[in-house]
Structure 1
Amino acid sequence: MYKNILVPVSFEENRDSAGALEIAQAIRAEGGKMTVLHVMEAVPGYALTYVPEGFHSDMQKTVAEELAQMVEGIDGAEVQVVDGHSGRTIVDYAAENDIDCIVIASHRPGMQNLLLGSTATQVVRHAKCAVHVLR
């Protein structure tokens, strides 16, 4: 059983965030902590002129509210919304916060993942703790 679990959540299609939360609850030690994390990627520089003022903070608030709804009723669960590159930020967050297991939902890898790599692949390769990948 794990005492401090990180569940990164992506709002992309084909990600079973609810399933990842179920697994995290099942493998969490009694009294353990669970952090549900969303990483907001930076808006490309060429698109910044088209983004309305306050968009980023409004989006952070909206994402935090949606995550809070996901963990409603789960004891010991907290929500974090951070900025960064998904894979690196998840690995860094885990290292900085004494996470002992990451439960991450993934999609079936395709040809593009052979060249670019997916977030889950990056987390599996670089995390210093246990990683449970849900497909």
Structure 2
Amino acid sequence: MYQKLLIAIDPEDDGEGKRALETAMEMLAEGGELHLASVYSPGGGGFFPYVTEEAPEDKEAAVRETLDQMVQKYLPKNSHANLHVIAGNTGEKLLSLAGQLCADLMILVSRGSSGHWPLRRATVEYVSVNASCPVLVLPSLEKANDPPE
């Protein structure tokens, strides 16, 4: 059982959040701390990185609201989770947060090289190799349910 669990969640993937939260609740010690983290990119793209479609504070509020909805939806009523919404490089920010929290375990869900996030696998590998705590990488539900070829 772990005292401090950090779960990295993509707020756009409800199934990922459900899977990670269910796994965490099985591994969390009674009275332990559960932390949910989502890292978003604050800037725009292209030649004008200072021009964004959405203000950073609006983006942060939207991500926080989605995480809060996941907590209400998938955690038992007597459970609590600390939410962390951070702007920046995903791998670096997750490692920094894990160190600040003195996390016992970090949980990630990997989609591998499939899906619409081609850099996702690189982030999971970077975090797994450089984390100051053990990292549990869960396969995505889609990947886990795919029939063998």
Report TM bin, short chain.
Answer: 0.7 to 0.9
- Per the alignment, residue 145 of structure 2 pairs with none
Does the 8 A contact of 2:105 with 2:136 survive in 1? yes
Structure 2 partner of 1:128: 132
Is the Cα contact below 8 Å between 1:15 and 1:106 reproduced in 2? no
Question: Which has the bigger relative contact order, CA under 8 A and spacing at least 6?
Answer: 1
Q: Hey, what does 2:40 align to over in structure 1? A: 40
Counterpart contact for 1:103–1:133, Cα < 8 Å: yes
TM-score by length of 2: 0.77
Aligned length: 131
**In structure 1, what is the equivalent of residue 31 of structure 2?**
31
CA contact (8 A) 1:7 1:20 kept: yes
- Deviation (angstroms), 1:37: 0.5
Structure 1 alignment gaps of length 5 or more: none
Match for 2:88: what amino acid?
Answer: G
Taking the aligned partners of 1:57 and 1:33, their CA distance within structure 2 comes to 26
Corresponding residue number in structure 2 for 1:104? 108
Match of 1:94 among 98, 102, 112: 98
Which residue is equivalent to 1:59?
59
Shift of 1:47: 3.9
The one-letter amino acid paired with 1:123 is V
3-state SS in 2 of match to 1:76: coil
Corresponding position of 1:71: 71
Please report how far the alpha carbon of residue 51 of structure 1 lies from its aligned counterpart in structure 2 after TM superposition: 2.0
| Most deviating of 78-87 and 42-51 | 42-51
Q: RMSD of the TM alignment (CA)?
A: 2.4
Q: CA deviation at 1:42?
A: 3.5
- Going from structure 1 to structure 2, the CA distance change for 1:13 and 1:87 (only over 3 Å counts) comes to same
Question: Which residue, 70, 88, 112 being the options, matches 1:84?
Answer: 88
Percent sequence identity over aligned pairs: 27
Q: 1:46 to 1:100 in 2, by over 3 A?
A: same
**Is 75-84 or 40-49 further displaced after alignment?**
40-49
The one-character-per-residue Cα deviations of 1:69-93 (angstroms, maximum 9, x if unpaired) are 1112441311110112001110111
